[in-house]
Structure 1
Amino acid sequence: MTLTQQIIQEIDLLPPTELEVVYQEVAKRMSHISRATKILAKYKGKGRGIWSMDAQEYVRQLRQSTRG
């Protein structure tokens, strides 16, 4: 049984008042995640053009130079 299945089984045993507390906590965490995702999405691609090469290429070259 997965952890998620175990949690769901435990939730099924909760009285409505405690279930509401769990719901509020999950909703709060999902809101934080959603907010963080939206904030980060605004910055996606903003660094384009700053570097003279692709970031992956830069890392590859950096790794080669430290190994050689």
Structure 2
Amino acid sequence: MNDESRLSRLEMLVTEQELLLEQYSDLIRDQQKQLDQLSHKIEMLELKLSKYQQPDEYDSSDQVPPHY
């Protein structure tokens, strides 16, 4: 194998690797976008949930058991 063909093969491999890196980068970007959306949805759900939760006036451990 001569140097020129080796160089050509290496250039082809580099190009393939660059394409793969680009694809992985796109995939990671998409996943990050999905994670951001999920985080936002979780925050909205937490906010909604907090509206329905009433704080206890006193802790249940402070209650005196009923006497019969």
TM normalised by structure 1 equals 0.47
Higher RCO structure (Cα 8 Å, ≥6 apart): 1
- TM-score norm. by structure 2 comes to 0.47
Larger radius of gyration: 2
